[in-house]
Chains A and B, each alone.
Chain A
Amino acid sequence: MTRDEIYAKVKEILVDALAVDDEDVTPQARLTTDLGAESIDFLDIVFKLQQAFGLNIAQGELFPENLSQHANFVKDGKVTPEGIATLKSRLPHVDFSGFEADPQVKKVAEVFTVDAVVKFVERKLASG
């Protein structure tokens, strides 16, 4: 499956799951702030991706599990360097470069763009 084909399918899933217009879904669109995704939508999106692409996605594999449960990862409302390093290694499909400048834990969901979801699916499909 080509990247364009993956993108088209991901777009269709996001339009359906988030009730947004086709043109709202761009590679750089953030799922939360741009497309209005709430926490339960992430569950819905993971289910839909598994169905559409025949994937098995473990909890925390596409989107991180609750960071604040790990004392070493969050301090004073910010994700610690250790937390960021862990996120980067667990979620290689996500670009954390912008987040590192202001790593407020409440903003962590903003790193999830449409492009990150496409990259994730691409990697999963390539790994068989």
Chain B
Amino acid sequence: MRWMWIDRITHLEPGRRLVAVKNVSMAEEHLHDHFPARDGSPAFPVMPASLILEGVAQTAGILVGHARVFREKVILAKIGKAELARDAAPGDTLRYSATILHLDTQGASTSTTIEIASPTAPGVFETIGAADIVFSHADHNTAGTTLPAFNFVFSDSFKTILRTSGFGDE
């Protein structure tokens, strides 16, 4: 299993906005633990909010990385605010949108939204959450420490997602 919490990128405006989708599936191991049947209550599988946040952070992180052609080590530095109004269950499609508010040598601030697709009306999404996420370009904020030269943030998996979604990584 790879630590990838988006399935496909559907929209990319370089340096500005990126949209990705995540399909929640009962095939995912974590849904069997979150939450299992217990004390006579049936299982209650819902996508953990932390993993939804991870997905939306990956969405924003790819946008920020792409803006500098993946030269920077883009590290999640801070989630200023995060709201999630409802659960996502197996069969749901989540849509994460990230917009760059500010980007410079030191890092970037982004605004993101989380939506859920209507199960009955194709193309209709309901907003269920939002998060403000700040990223650091780690090489410019090392506080005297030395980081490895290779870009350990952007693995091939991220670039593969861009490519299979129809976007080059350059």
Contacts and interface: CB of A to CB of B under 8 A. Distances in A.
A39 to B, nearest CB: 7
B144 A44 contact: no
Contact of B78 (A40, A46, A69): A40
Interface string B135-168: 0100011011000000000000000000000000
Contact of B143 (A39, A46, A51): A39
A16 interface: yes
Interface residues of A, number: 17
A43 B105 contact: no
Nearest to B103: A47
Contacts of B107: 43, 47
A54 B105 CA distance: 16
A2 interface: no
Interface string B73-98: 00001101100000000000000000
Contacts of B80: 16-17, 19, 44
B69 interface: no
Contacts of B109: 44, 47-48, 51
B43 to A, nearest CB: 35
Interface residues of B, number: 18
Nearest to A57: B104
B136 A59 contact: no
B105 A59 contact: yes
A28 interface: no
Given A66-B143, A66-B144, A44 B78 contact: yes
Given A16-B80, A40-B78, A59-B105, A47 B134 contact: yes
B102 A50 contact: yes
Interface in A7-61: 16-17, 19, 39-41, 43-44, 46-48, 50-51, 59
7 contacts: A16-B81, A39-B143, A40-B136, A44-B109, A47-B134, A59-B140, A69-B144
Interface of B: 77-78, 80-81, 101-102, 104-109, 134, 136, 140-141, 143-144
